[in-house]
Amino acid sequence: MTKKQIVERIREVFDVVYEDAKCSLDFETPHQLLVAVQLSAQCTDARVNLVTPALFEKYRSVQDFANADEDELCHMIKSCGFYKNKGKNIIASSKRILSEFMGEIPSEMDELLKLEGVGRKTANLILGDVYGKPSLVIDTHAIRLTNRIGLVSEKDPVKIEFALKKIVPSDYQTRFCHQLVYHGRAICDARVPKCTLCPIGDVCKKKNVKKFV
């Protein structure tokens, strides 16, 4: 099978097994998603979801975050780790959104990358989940699983992103990455993958497992 055919097979299975796959961060507005993703760096989504309810209750708009007292904000997000840097980035990016983008989250990759604390992973999540554009979020799950399956032989997130763009249909890219997260948590564990239970075992290049366990 070609890599495109493998992706089509995965799509058939995942659209049944993980039909409800979505972003695991809780948010109601585009800016809340941006803040949540900034907090999620080196932190679990579960932890972020514990922090954001009170955070979003106190800071209800981009303007609120831009005007936030840095010490107060940092105190609220302390349990997410790297809180000083995250706090500075959240405030600075909020100010930039107001001053350069009229208070709206940018809808283009180049513009999103101008925001403090935003890299390609965050930008792609915004493009896909907010604007419905083709996007590939290359997180630890995507790196691990695409290598194990045999879709790529690369650990660099940017190289993986562009390699996958060639084989993953544009209308499936965003959903595919969310499904990889679900599959990584349920079956393809980082340490002990449950290969005997894997619904896509027929197309997985198992010889890669030892290399990445």
Q: Which residues are catalytic, by number?
A: 121, 139
Reduced DSSP (H G I as helix, E B as strand, rest coil) percent helix, strand, coil of the chain, to 5: 60, 0, 40
Contacting residues for 8 by C-beta, under 8 A, at least 6 apart: none
Judge whether 41 and 206 are in contact, CB under 8 Å. no
CA distances to 75, 84, 87, 88 from 71, rounded to whole Å, are 6, 8, 8, 10
Both tokens of residue 72?
């107060």
